[in-house]
């Protein structure tokens, strides 16, 4: 077999990804995220999120997971490639630091957070994602998430 293009580790420009996810922000915010509430709450309980925990949600979408974490007392933050989704996330989380940006290069310094979560923001095909795909909700989920955590932090990925 001869192939003209090698399979390489790459990813689409994050602004294109952002536009792609932001094309139907109303549907994502009102149909998709609410259907995941059980999952968000279950993950937060699994990670024992409590008062004062500094939590970053990577690919935070329209911010429902951060909002639920806030109800448990966490100090939430989020990053997403979609400007339109983050606009909704800001409405839902007026006191949280919600940013538009590239999740591979979040503006926060390494070690800023106690907890990092991501719900389908990091796939096995995502560059830098761990090969630990057999237990994706456990801590070695992703180097890009782990770097943002303090020592002994928790990373939750679904």
Partner 1 sequence: MLVEGDPVATGTVRVRGQRIAWQEFGAGDGVVLLMPTWCIVHTDFWRHQVPWLSQRYRVLAFDELGNGASDRPTDPEHYGDLLVADEAVAVLDACAVEHAAVMGVSQGGPWALALAVRHPDRVNAAVFIAPNAPLAAEHAECVAADERFNDVHASHDGWSKWNRHYWLSNFHDFLRFFFSQCFTEPDSQEQIDHFFDMGAQTTPEALLASLGTDANQLTAELASSYARRVRCPSLVIHGDQDAITPLARGEELARLAGSELIVMAGSGHEPQCRNHEVVNAHINSFLETANVRRHP
**Which residue ranges make up the site for partner 1 (CB under 8 A)?**
1-7, 10-13, 16-17, 19-20, 23-24, 27-28, 31-32, 35-36, 38-39, 120, 123-125, 133, 135-137, 158
The tally of CA atoms less than 13 A away on the side-chain side of residue 142 is 28
- Stated as kind and residue range, the H or E segment containing 57 is strand 54-58
Of the candidates 80, 65, 61, 81, the residue with the CA atom closest to the CA atom of residue 115:
65
Q: Minimal distance in Å, beta carbon 68 to partner 1?
A: 15
- Closest to partner 1 by CB, 4 or 95: 4
Burial of 31 (0-12, 13-18, 19+ CB in 10 A): exposed
- Closest to partner 1 by CB, 28 or 113: 28
- Closest to partner 1 by CB, 15 or 99: 15
- Closest to partner 1 by CB, 31 or 71: 31
Q: Minimal distance in Å, beta carbon 117 to partner 1?
A: 14
Q: Minimal distance in Å, beta carbon 70 to partner 1?
A: 22
The DSSP bridge partners found for residue 98 are: 78
- What's the angle, vertex CA 33, arms to CA 51 and CA 128, rounded to 5? 75
Q: Minimal distance in Å, beta carbon 62 to partner 1?
A: 11
């Amino acid at each position: 077999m001869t192939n003209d293009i090698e399979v390489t580790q790459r990813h689409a420009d994050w602004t294109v990804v952002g536009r792609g996810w932001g094309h139907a922000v109303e549907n994502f915010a009102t149909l998709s995220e609410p259907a995941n509430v059980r999952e968000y709450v279950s993950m937060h309980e699994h990670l024992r999120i409590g008062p004062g925990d500094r939590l970053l949600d990577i690919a935070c979408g329209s911010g429902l997971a951060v909002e639920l974490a806030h109800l448990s007392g966490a100090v939430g933050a989020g990053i997403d490639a979609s400007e339109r989704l983050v606009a909704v996330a800001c409405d839902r989380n007026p006191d949280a630091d919600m940013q538009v940006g590239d999740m591979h290069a979040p503006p926060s310094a390494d070690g800023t957070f106690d907890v990092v979560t991501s719900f389908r923001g990091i796939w096995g095909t995502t560059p830098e994602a761990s090969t630990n795909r057999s237990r994706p909700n456990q801590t070695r989920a992703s180097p890009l998430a782990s770097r943002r955590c303090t020592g002994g932090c928790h990373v939750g990925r679904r």
